[in-house]
Copies of this chain bind each other. A is one copy, B any other.
Amino acid sequence: MPKLQESNLTETAVPLDTAATRFRAWQEMGFDANRCPVRNVLDFIGDKWSTLILMSLAGGPRRFNEIIRAVPDISKRMLTQTLRSLERDGLVTRHVFPTKPPSVEYRLSQLGRSVLEPLDRLVGWAETHFATITRARQQFDANVIDEATGALTQK
């Protein structure tokens, strides 16, 4: 296999190339899972709630039950858990006010605010291509069914 050319890029494929370069860099580092940012840092996007919570906190500090009401269907258990993990990563800070009954406020840290920019781009991409992807899925599923029934009728 010929070596990939790292320079000589005249196309508009820059993000494509930086992604590819990044990937190869990890490969050459032996892909140590402990050092792979994708695996170690991007977990919170994966889980069901973190992104929504971060976005709701983008509007300003929120109290526990405010977030409960803002984020649909989240349970207290999962909200607690997710907030803890965001706090652990330093994206969210927790402030307890000794009122009666006590109230707790969550807000984005500097780091948490900094992730909103790339995150929002991705969410923007998702919104932009939402319809396209939905159609792609429907078409794919229809084909799968067609092939299956086609195989059946051929029997």
Interface size class of A (residues with CB under 8 A): 35 or more
Determine whether the beta carbon of B123 is less than 8 Å from that of A19. Answer: yes
Residue contact A90 to B40, C-beta cutoff 8 Å: no
Q: Is the CB of A56 within 8 A of B125?
A: no
Instruction: Tell me whether B118 and A121 are in contact (CB under 8 A).
Output: yes
> A137 and B56 in contact (CB under 8 A), knowing A41-B130, A45-B42, A51-B42?
no
> Copy number of this protein in the oligomer?
2
In the bound complex, residues from chain B placing their C-beta under 8 Å from that of A137 are 88-90
**Between-chain CB contacts (< 8 Å), 11 pairs:** A13-B113, A18-B124, A22-B120, A22-B124, A23-B58, A38-B55, A40-B126, A42-B45, A88-B136, A88-B141, A115-B122
Contact A118 B111 (CB under 8 A): no
Q: Does A114 contact B (CB under 8 A)?
A: yes
A127 touches B22 (CB 8 A): yes
Residues B116 and A38 in contact, CB atoms below 8 Å apart = no
